[in-house]
Amino acid sequence: MTDEINLDDVMTRRFDLDEQISILMGKHKLEVAPLMEEMKLCESFIKTELLKSGAQQWKSASTGHQTFWTTKDSVTVEDWDAVLAYIKANNAYELLNHAVSKTVAKEMIEAQTPPPGVKYVSFKDLAWRRGKV
C-alpha cells in the first residue's frame, strides 16, 4: 500500500476546503451582521447628537473614547466629454491617472500595433470549477 499524493485527491481536497471556507464565511457574515447593525445605530445616534449640539468633537469623560468630524472627499466623472475637453484646452493632464485600458491595449497588441511605452504581460493561472458529484 502506498501513501502517494495524486492530483485527483488534492483536487478533491481543494474543493472540500473551498466549501468549508464558504460555509464559515457565511456563518461569520450572519454572526457579524447584527453587531454591524448595532454599531451603525450607535454611530447614527452620536452623529445626530453632535449635529444637534453643534459640537465638532466629543470625548467620553469615563473612558477617554473620542469622536470628531473629519472631511472625506469623493471625485467622480459625470460628463467625460466635458472633462476631457477641459483637460485638453487647459493642458491639465495632471487630472488623469497613469493607466491605460487593458482591453484596448491588448487589442492593439494583437493587431500588431502596440502602443509605445506600454508593457503587456499575459500569464497562465489556474481557474476552478467544481465537478458534479
CA dihedral 84, 90, 92, 93 (to 10 degrees): 60
| CA–CA separation, 75 and 39 (whole Å) | 27
- The structure's pTM equals 0.61
| CA–CA separation, 73 and 47 (whole Å) | 18
Q: Which pLDDT tens digit goes with each residue over 50-101?
A: 999 999 999 999 999 999 999 999 999 999 999 999 999 999 999 999 899 9
Helices (H), ranges, 4-129 = 7-53, 80-90, 102-110
The pLDDT of residue 2:
61
Q: What are the extents of the domains in the chain?
A: 7-68, 78-122
